[in-house]
Amino acid sequence: MTSNADTVFTGGTVFRNALLTPQSGAVAVSDGRIVALDADARAAIGPDTEIVDLRGGLLLPGFVDAHVHPIEAGLEQLACDLSAERTPEGYLATIAAYAEAHPERPWVVGGGWQQAAFPGGTPLAADLDRVVPDRPVFLQNRDHHGAWVNTAALRLAGIDHTTPDPADGRIERDADGTPNGMLHEGARSLVSRFVPVDTDEDVAAALIAAQQTLHGFGVTGWQDAIVGDYGSHTDTSDAYLQAMADGSLTSDVVGALWWDRDRGLEQIDELIARRDAIARRAAALGTTIGRFTAGTVKIMQDGIPENRTAAMIDPYLRTCHCGDTAPERGISFLEPATLVEAVTRLDAAGFQVHFHAIGDRAVRECLDALEAARERNGESDNRHHIAHVQIVHPDDLPRFARLGVTMNMQALWATWEPQMVELNLPLLGEDRASWQYPFGDAARLGTLLCAGSDWPVTTPDPWQALHVAVNRTLPVDDPDHHPEPLNPGQSLTLGAAIAAYTLGSNRIDHRDDTGVIEVGAVADLVLVDRDPFAGPTTEIAHTRTVGTWIAGRRVFTSTTTSTEQGT
């Protein structure tokens, strides 16, 4: 190394990759790539070199969120945001204040409430009617698998005791069959189709606001888990391409094109055309930072256990007693035969498939489809992955490594928080509860791991998820902390968990030249205020971001000093 570097990081600890213990060192960056390490990096300091003092903190590869909904998160922040509250009283007070502050809006729209705050996980239209009687209300819960609506919304949508449940959802009802204000899964669309569509300006503002939030947590790239006509917004690929064009997109983003489960295999040709059109438009912009591609298709195969829509091999232990005496096993949104054919054709067309699978039957159906695709098409480098994987039958765990399928972790959920304790466990029982989030066994079997947040379902802060991946409990100072870890044998080392959130997530995005700190790698980097490897694992969640760089360019600087952050 003879020429001077653009930037040299020195004065702290460097996490290069999961195979090496973090150690003190220096990193030199020029033209967006890492060009030297340690003594060679320090020798590259010249008169114009920016020197970044790590101040005893840790420098590591930038985080890549492998499953996130940033535009939805941004829109939620700009609407009636309930995420800061935890009680029915708090939710209703926030809703009332928002409605009073925005009398000009024909709907009250937002989300972020928790099912566990309500008896049986079911809020009521009657409660909303007391605070917003004059216009319809549509509020998604924090996991976006259900919606709380008022009587005005039900009336506008024509939903009454005669309205049948859709094939992919359920209307919660009183004993006499009257809808009570809670809509699960596909039943949400009975109302959401009447919600005013988000404007292009709102979507663009939401994207940039969300990107700023993600950079503040050290996230340098992501995979947007739904790009298409979904909810009350239209295809968001235009927002990404516009942000590329005006230079406001600073992250590399992979968009997962939405598989419309109300349609069939005929949409594959349309997905190919959309992918190719996006690629042409993006290529014409010629940007080297802040790029958007769409070579992935998102298939949601089931729902969630809290509302008994996660697809299970064996029945739930409790049913809704809605008049149907058949055992409840959840919903497979795509029939298994259709799923096999769809995945096989998508794989042959060069698509990566990004699955949502929560229940053990859904996980098995996704693995069956990928195995069938491999048998018909041969091996590929499409890097398919299954997100969430809450409940995995032990017989299916070895199949991930054997088929080369990546397990996409939302590790923050692997803990005894109220929704798990009050809503999931009574439905699953102890045996199936012990199968939840089997990250440790998966890693020991050689399964590839990546990681994401599913924000706005839960926080996009990687250190919160890393804390749970290692400890299998929330931090002690979290209001939902439970003293007992959830399935502690499934914990990961901190190094393995960080590798999933960096190298693993970059891998599924086909970015093989970053995710590690080594000469030649793209300089996507994050500096945090401490070395979490040096302290107790119970303090991992207290780690805070000091600065974020993408291809060597600083995109975030904390306004708080490292000393202040550490207090």
As a whole number of Å, the CA-based R_g of the chain is: 23
Query: pLDDT tens across 75-124, in order?
Result: 888 889 898 888 999 999 999 999 999 999 999 998 888 888 888 888 99
DSSP 8-state symbol, 205 = H
What is the pLDDT, as a whole number, of residue 43? Answer: 96
pTM above 0.85, yes or no: yes
Residue 35 and residue 508 in contact, taking contact as beta carbons nearer than 8 Å: no
Which residue has tokens 């190394």?
1
Report H helices in 331-461. 336-348, 360-377, 397-403, 418, 425-433, 439-444
221-235 pLDDT per residue, tens: 999 999 998 766 678
The helices-and-strands tally (H runs, E runs) of the chain is 19, 22
What H or E segment, with its residue span, contains residue 95?
Answer: helix 88-101
pLDDT at 10 over 70: yes
Confidence at 11, pLDDT banded by 50, 70, 90? very high
The answer to whether 462 and 63 have CB atoms below 8 angstroms apart is yes
Helix axes 200-216, 70-78, angle to 10 degrees: 110
Tens digit of each residue's pLDDT (9 = 90 or more) over 446-470: 999 999 999 999 999 999 999 999 9
Q: Per mean pLDDT, which of 140-154, 168-182, 401-415 is the most reliable?
A: 401-415
Q: What is the pLDDT of residues 315-347, one digit of tens each?
A: 999 765 554 546 799 999 999 999 999 999 999
User: For residue 512, which amino acid is it?
Assistant: D
Q: Can you state the angle between helices 360-377 and 336-348, rounded to 10 degrees?
A: 40
Q: Is 430 exposed, middle or buried (0-12, 13-18, 19+ CB in 10 A)?
A: exposed
pLDDT level of residue 377 (50, 70, 90 thresholds)? very high
Residue 112 to residue 126: CA distance in whole angstroms: 19
Q: Tell me the sheet residues that pair with 554.
A: 549
566, pLDDT greater than 50: no
**Range from 142-156, 389-403, 487-501 carrying the lowest mean pLDDT:** 142-156
| Confidence band for 286, pLDDT divided at 50, 70 and 90 | confident
Nearest to 145 by CA among 177, 178, 121: 121
Q: Locate tokens 């566990």: which residue?
A: 116
Categorise residue 384: left if φ over 0, alpha if ψ from -120 to 50, beta otherwise.
beta
Q: What is the pLDDT of residue 350?
A: 98
* Mean pLDDT along residues 365-384: 98
Rounded-to-integer distance, Cα 158 and Cα 193, Å: 12
H helices within 111-150, ranges in order?
125-131
Check pLDDT > 70 for residue 563: no
Among candidates 563, 555, 562, 559, which has minimal Cα distance to 63?
A: 555
Identify the pLDDT of residue 232. Answer: 61
Asked whether the predicted pLDDT for residue 151 surpasses 60, the reply is yes
The mean pLDDT value for 69-77 works out to 90
Contact in structure between 484 and 434 (CB atoms under 8 Å): no
Q: Of the candidates 112, 114, 99, which has an alpha carbon nearest to the alpha carbon of residue 69?
A: 112
Cβ(370)–Cβ(343) below 8 Å: yes
H/E stretch holding 138 reads: strand 137-141
Q: What is residue 490's DSSP assignment?
A: G
Tell me what pLDDT residue 320 has: 57
Average pLDDT estimate for 424-434: 95
Going by their DSSP bridges, the two strands 80-81 and 137-141 should be labelled as: unpaired
Beta strands in 261-319 (DSSP E): 292-300
- State both tokens at 480: 């939902």
- 334 touches 299 (CB < 8 A): yes
> Who contacts 104 (Cβ-Cβ below 8 Å, separation ≥6)?
none
Phi, psi of 479 (to 5 degrees): -60, -25
Distance CA 502, CA 159 (A): 46
pLDDT for position 169: 87
Region 22-43: what's the mean pLDDT? 97
Hey, what are 266's tokens? 């005929």
Residue 151's Cβ-side half-sphere holds a number of Cα atoms within 13 Å equal to: 9
Q: Determine the straight-line distance between the first and last CA of the chain, rounded to whole angstroms.
A: 39
Residue appearing with tokens 């992919």: 168
Strand duo 545-550 + 525-528: pairing: antiparallel
Structure tokens at 223: 């995979």
